[in-house]
């Protein structure tokens, strides 16, 4: 009896230990960004939603951090600013609920008020908000944290200085892949005193001077519909650049890609400042040739080897099938080129293996035709090989053997019946 109790206690302690180490829950906060324009000496109240997607009740509290910098992707760089630093706005923000308990799979509305002191200098002030665990003796070991920080961007009214430049514009791909889009990027530097939200796009013109259409595709977050644009958007999410910071905005040419030489033109606007334009040249050169196409008939497997040479500047990955027909032109198999086959690098030759059978090919004559394509223009890739197999078809051999045995048995029975009949006839005659 005591052993059972001891084991139960140990198991409970172990379970609590596991819970302490590994149980992590997340809450959500919407919107992910709140932007406010406030006069010195004034106050503005905003609303957020705190969401509990978990199956247990959780108790959380808000945690504010201030920041003045963003990294090149726009994420805030949290700083430890002194309380009397004029950029530290922690004391400006107050919540109507400092601790909240959320029922399972529920949400609550929380109001917060931003009060800007009299005499505050004009310009941008920034904080990020996340919700963290409130210590609870009944929830030992449970860690709760906001999955994504909610940003609070405040613009204190007064003299606004708008000064931005594009420090670079190019396509960001280290290499061009035949089944991926081309990513354009511009680096925008903000030398003003307020955050900027650039509106940027890229248009494409071919060597003949024709402007390409339908070059970008994305899914609308609200409707779920696919939207096709004639220009590549570079700041579709409406991201900001903080004063004194630089950020890279990117967009993907992911629709109607094609080989050729193109001029990409960036058009960028921000605030009420003059439009910024820059251009960069892009060349997509594709060329993939079949050097050889052979079948490998081994004792326990059969596959094909496809040797390709890439004369372009795109990493190519062919796609398609091999159509295998017998002597009667009947399609007997169509093994597919694997989706994860290695890319053929520009200026190189590579051998691709296409598996077929995990056994020898049945006896007969065959023709294998490569029906594939490559690149943005789906250029055909063809080849053909004829082969024969003299492998013994054991199933057919078994059928034939079985037929022979049956025939022998039938003959034997007939012979025995004839002999028996003759024997009876001889006895009757005597």
Q: Reply yes or no on whether the pLDDT at 17 is more than 70.
A: no
Q: How far is CA 106 from CA 23, 31, 48, in A?
A: 20, 16, 14
- Any idea of the CA torsion for 374, 376, 377, 378, to the nearest 10 degrees? 30
Q: Do 36 and 114 touch, CB atoms closer than 8 A?
A: yes
Domains and CATH numbers, the chain: 23-156 (2.60.40.10), 164-284 (2.60.40.10), 288-389 (2.60.40.10)
Q: What is the pLDDT of residues 46-62, one digit of tens each?
A: 999 999 998 999 999 99
| pLDDT tier, 234 (very low <50, low <70, confident <90, very high otherwise) | very high
- Cβ atoms within 10 Å, residue 275: 9
| pLDDT tier, 79 (very low <50, low <70, confident <90, very high otherwise) | confident
Beta strands in 103-160 (DSSP E): 106-115, 123-133, 143-146, 150-156
pLDDT score recorded for residue 2: 36
pLDDT score recorded for residue 90: 94
Q: What is the DSSP string of 311-360?
A: -SSEEB--EEEEEEEETT--EEE-PBPPTTPPPB-TT-EEEEEEEEESSP
Sheet holding 331-333, edge to edge: 331-333, 319-326, 364-374, 379-389
Buried b (16+ CB within 10 A) or exposed e, 84-110: eeeebbeebbebeeeebebeeeebeeb
Reduced to 3 states (helix: H, G, I; strand: E, B; else coil), residue 51 is: strand
What's the whole-model pTM score?
0.77
Q: Which are the contacts of 248, defined by CB distance < 8 A and separation ≥ 6?
A: 72, 73, 185, 186, 187, 188
Place of tokens 């931003």: 114
| pLDDT tier, 374 (very low <50, low <70, confident <90, very high otherwise) | very high
Q: Which are the contacts of 350, defined by CB distance < 8 A and separation ≥ 6?
A: 307, 308, 310, 342, 344
Measured between alpha carbons, how far apart are the two ends of the chain, in Å?
98
Q: Which are the contacts of 286, defined by CB distance < 8 A and separation ≥ 6?
A: 178, 259, 312, 314, 316, 374, 375, 376, 377, 379
pLDDT score recorded for residue 424: 64
Q: What is the DSSP string of 244-299?
A: T-EEEEEEEE-SS--SEEEEEEEEEE-TTPPPEEEEEEEEE---EEEEEEEEEE-S
31: cis peptide before it, omega within 30°? yes
pLDDT score recorded for residue 426: 60
Q: Do 358 and 300 touch, CB atoms closer than 8 A?
A: yes
Q: If residue 410 lies in a helix (H) or strand (E), which one and from where to where?
A: helix 394-429
Q: What is the pLDDT of residues 84-103, one digit of tens each?
A: 898 999 999 999 999 999 99
CA–CA separation, 203 and 212 (whole Å): 8
pLDDT score recorded for residue 379: 96
| pLDDT tier, 390 (very low <50, low <70, confident <90, very high otherwise) | confident
196 DSSP 8-state letter: B
CA–CA separation, 328 and 33 (whole Å): 67
- Cβ atoms within 10 Å, residue 294: 15
> Residue 210 burial by CB count (10 A; 0-12/13-18/19+): exposed, middle or buried?
exposed
Please state whether beta strands 226-229 and 288-297 pair in parallel, antiparallel, or not at all (unpaired).
Answer: unpaired
Q: Which of 245, 237, 151, 128 is nearest to 191 (CA)?
A: 245
């Amino acid at each position: 009896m005591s052993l059972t109790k001891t084991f139960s206690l140990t198991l409970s302690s172990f379970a609590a230990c596991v819970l302490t180490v590994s149980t992590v829950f997340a809450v959500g906060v919407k919107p992910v960004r709140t932007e406010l324009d406030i006069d010195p000496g004034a106050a503005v109240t905003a609303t957020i939603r705190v969401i509990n997607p978990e199956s247990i009740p959780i108790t959380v509290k808000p945690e504010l951090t201030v920041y003045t910098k963003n990294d090149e992707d726009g994420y805030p760089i949290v700083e430890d600013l002194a309380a009397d630093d004029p950029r530290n706005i922690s004391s400006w923000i107050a919540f109507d609920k400092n601790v909240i308990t959320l029922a399972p799979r529920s949400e609550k509305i929380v109001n917060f008020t931003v009060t800007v002191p009299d005499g505050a200098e004009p310009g941008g002030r920034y904080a990020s908000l996340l919700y963290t665990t409130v210590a609870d003796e009944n929830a030992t070991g449970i860690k709760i944290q906001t999955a994504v920080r909610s940003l609070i961007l405040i613009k204190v009214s007064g003299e606004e200085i708008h000064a931005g430049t594009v420090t670079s514009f190019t396509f960001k791909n280290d290499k061009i892949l035949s089944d991926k889009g081309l990513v354009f990027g511009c680096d925008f530097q903000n030398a003003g005193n307020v955050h900027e939200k650039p509106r940027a796009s890229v248009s494409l013109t071919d060597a003949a001077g024709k402007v390409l259409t339908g070059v970008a595709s994305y899914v609308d977050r609200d409707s779920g519909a696919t939207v096709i644009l004639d220009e590549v958007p570079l700041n579709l999410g409406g991201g900001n650049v903080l004063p004194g910071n630089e950020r890279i905005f990117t967009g993907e040419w992911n629709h109607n890609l094609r080989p050729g030489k193109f001029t990409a033109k960036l058009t960028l606007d921000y605030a009420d400042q003059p439009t910024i334009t820059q251009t960069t040249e892009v060349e997509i050169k594709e060329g993939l040739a079949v050097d050889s196409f052979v079948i490998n008939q081994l004792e326990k497997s059969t596959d094909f080897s496809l040797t390709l040479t890439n004369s372009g500047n795109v990493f190519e990955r062919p796609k398609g099938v091999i159509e295998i027909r017998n002597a009667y032109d009947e399609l007997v198999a169509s093994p597919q080129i694997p989706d994860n086959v290695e890319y053929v690098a520009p200026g190189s030759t590579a051998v691709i293996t296409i598996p077929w059978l995990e056994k020898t090919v049945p006896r007969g004559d065959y023709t294998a035709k490569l029906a594939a394509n490559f690149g943005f223009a789906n250029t055909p890739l063809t080849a053909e090989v004829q082969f024969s197999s003299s492998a013994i078809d054991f199933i057919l051999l078994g059928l034939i053997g079985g037929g022979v045995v049956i025939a022998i048995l039938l003959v034997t029975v007939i012979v025995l019946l004839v002999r028996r009949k003759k024997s009876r006839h001889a006895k009757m005659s005597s």
